[in-house]
Chain A
Amino acid sequence: MTAVPNGHDGLITARGLYLSFGAIPALVDVDIDLWPGEVLAVVGESGSGKTTLLNVLSGRVAPDAGAVLYTDPEGEQHDVHTMPAPALRTLHRSDWGFVHQDPKQNLRMNVSAGGNVGERLMARGARHYGTIRAEAIDWLTQVEIDADRVDDLPRTFSGGMLQRLQIARTLVTHPRLVFMDEPTGGLDVSVQARLLDLIRTLVARLGIAAVLVTHDIAVARLLAHRIAVMQRGRVVETGLTDQVLDDPQHAYTQLLVSSVLQV
């Protein structure tokens, strides 16, 4: 599939994933490899199985067949779908992060920005108010939210700010792997550009691996090292971002690339 020789060193190794919703196959024979520090974009049209793939990789939905293996920092491999629920929960609140398209799904709207950012720290056992608050303020500044808004409720924030707050809340525990589901969806173009710039900087600086689901080829080109193109539940093409986008091999990828508006 890719140039990396040893398939067992991957952060995430998924083999033979199959999942159908009734008669509709959502995932068919999907293999995914993700290496530490790498950003993988999953692109495709609506209904091609991108979000389902994200849910299966993150252990939120069990596949009908196939397995997802996660390699922890100690080098031990875990099957995401057979590991005990508490272990998966621990992964989700420390090593992993999930960024939703709609920040309201992830944020607590009746809890201040600082509380939202601090929650993962407290879930992990932080019990010093001063430290939690300092870290929350530090992260708000990193995502370009004014430090004096730390006690404001998220419902007073704009859409772009909410998305940045969600990113701060997710990254505060320094996860190794972040799943992003259309992180720039529903934002206007200038806000999108700032957000993409922010995500790119943070991901590069912290060395976070990410699986990024998007239908926007431009987002994929800007953020991703590698790209996987999905159509009707199958990964039809995968490779380095520039390679796939500049020289698409599969007919569907060619269609996808050529249908981007050139302004």
Chain B
Amino acid sequence: MTEGYNFAYLDEQTKRMIRRALLKAVAIPGHQVPFGSREMPLPYGWGTGGIQVTASILGTNDVLKVIDQGADDTTNAVSIRRFFARTADVATTTHTADATVIQTRHRIPEKTLRDNQIIVYQVPQPEPLYRLESSRVETRRMHGLADYGLMHVKLYEDVARFGQISISYDYPVLVNQRYLMSPSPIPAFDNPKMDRMPALQLFGAGREKRIYAIPPWTAVRSLDFDDHPFRAINASEPCGLCGATDSYLDEVVIDDRGGRLFVCSDTDHCAERRAAGHIGKDGFAEAAE
């Protein structure tokens, strides 16, 4: 462990402050709790909120997994994982099943999470109404009075203009039939996974200085119309590497002649399937690597 830093970088007073905010957030599912966000050794937008929440809940026995857009091997994921390996000396993993704390940006892992796991989301904009109502005083009042007609006006406009609700990520949800919440920029495909999830879900927005949470087994409903129900959108092809048809896929440009490859965005899920012998049309057996 790196000398000269407190366990998991943040000082104990800050962690206590964040834990108090977390307790309040868990007590009021979906409600944004203000907290004193600290300067972190990475820029806003790279996960300063998520990293502070993770630092506050991490214990010596925890096993940490960090994903960025579903992948364990991108810059953001690698840096944050190494950050905690150095400052907290915790075990890290890329396997969803082995992790006790999962910090994520823009995805929920494909594997169903268990009740002894915690998932921490990095949130750029915690206010679901911010594009529709510029005044925070007014949006707070709307949350206080559960006055969410405006969000449905946005959905109405989508259907009137495009014939369907065209929100593909950061799809607004109603938590516990009360608070309107931004699920952070996860694809709408992942929204159903939040509903009655056995794991505790924590959300940290560092620049906006807000923390919110969804306790285990809480109802999370994606907003929709009775005659235009919520639909999870995904690519129409199976994963090119592992052949999965039920996972969220990234579209990768592979040459300059219009070549496309669809692959699982969850790298751990894809690798696990390939190791189990599932091979897609562009894939190859793990052993051949």
Interface residues of A (CB under 8 A from B): 85-86, 89, 93, 108, 111-112, 114-115, 118-120, 122-124, 127-130, 132-133, 150-151
- Check if B157 sits within 8 Å of A129, measured CB to CB: no
- Check if A119 sits within 8 Å of B225, measured CB to CB: no
Q: Check: B227 CB closer than 8 A to any chain A CB.
A: yes
In the docked arrangement, what's the CA distance between A120 and B160, Å?
17
Q: Check: B159 CB closer than 8 A to any chain A CB.
A: yes
Q: Check: B20 CB closer than 8 A to any chain A CB.
A: no
In the docked arrangement, what's the CA distance between A151 and B161, Å?
8
From B115-123, B143-151, B177-185, B273-281, the one touching the partner chain is B143-151
- Check if B153 sits within 8 Å of A122, measured CB to CB: yes
Residues of A within 8 A of B289 (CB): none
Q: Check: B152 CB closer than 8 A to any chain A CB.
A: yes
Residues of B126-161 contacting chain A, CB below 8 A? 144-145, 147-150, 152-153, 156-157, 159-161
Residues of B145-198 contacting chain A, CB below 8 A? 145, 147-150, 152-153, 156-157, 159-161
| Interface SS majority for chain B | helix
- Check if A111 sits within 8 Å of B227, measured CB to CB: no
Task: Report the minimum CB–CB distance from B99 to chain A (whole Å).
Answer: 38
Of B152, B156, B159, B227, the most chain A CB neighbours within 10 A belong to B156
In the docked arrangement, what's the CA distance between A112 and B161, Å?
9
Residues of A within 8 A of B144 (CB): 85-86
- Check if A119 sits within 8 Å of B157, measured CB to CB: no
Residues of B within 8 A of A130 (CB): 227
Which of these, A93, A114, A127, contacts B225 with CB under 8 Å? Answer: A127
Indicate whether A123 sits within 8 Å of B147 (C-beta atoms), given known contacts A118-B156, A128-B227, A130-B227.
yes
**Interchain pairs with CB closer than 8 A, number:** 57
Of B144, B149, B227, the most chain A CB neighbours within 10 A belong to B149
- Check if B160 sits within 8 Å of A133, measured CB to CB: yes
Q: Check: B3 CB closer than 8 A to any chain A CB.
A: no
Q: Check: B226 CB closer than 8 A to any chain A CB.
A: yes
- Check if A115 sits within 8 Å of B225, measured CB to CB: no
Q: Check: B16 CB closer than 8 A to any chain A CB.
A: no
- Check if B156 sits within 8 Å of A85, measured CB to CB: no
In the docked arrangement, what's the CA distance between A150 and B161, Å?
11
Residues of A within 8 A of B150 (CB): 119, 123
- Check if A128 sits within 8 Å of B225, measured CB to CB: yes
- Check if B153 sits within 8 Å of A115, measured CB to CB: yes
- Check if B147 sits within 8 Å of A89, measured CB to CB: yes
Of B147, B157, B160, the most chain A CB neighbours within 10 A belong to B160
Task: Report the minimum CB–CB distance from A88 to chain B (whole Å).
Answer: 10
Task: Report the minimum CB–CB distance from A154 to chain B (whole Å).
Answer: 13
Indicate whether A119 sits within 8 Å of B149 (C-beta atoms), given known contacts A129-B159, A132-B156.
yes
Residues of B within 8 A of A120 (CB): 149
Q: Check: B260 CB closer than 8 A to any chain A CB.
A: no
- Check if A127 sits within 8 Å of B226, measured CB to CB: yes
Contact string against A for B residues 218-260, beta-carbon threshold 8 Å, 1 for contact and 0 otherwise? 0000001111100000000000000000000000000000000
In the docked arrangement, what's the CA distance between A112 and B157, Å?
7
- Check if B226 sits within 8 Å of A128, measured CB to CB: yes
Residues of A within 8 A of B145 (CB): 85-86, 89
Task: Report the minimum CB–CB distance from B154 to chain A (whole Å).
Answer: 8
Residues of B within 8 A of A85 (CB): 144-145
- Check if A122 sits within 8 Å of B160, measured CB to CB: no
- Check if A114 sits within 8 Å of B160, measured CB to CB: yes
Residues of A within 8 A of B224 (CB): 127
Closest 6 CB pairs of A and B: A123-B149, A122-B152, A129-B225, A122-B149, A128-B226, A86-B145
5 contacts between A and B (CB under 8 A): A112-B161, A123-B149, A127-B225, A129-B156, A132-B156
4 additional contacts, CB 8 Å, given A122-B152, A127-B224, A133-B160?
Answer: A108-B153, A123-B150, A129-B156, A129-B159
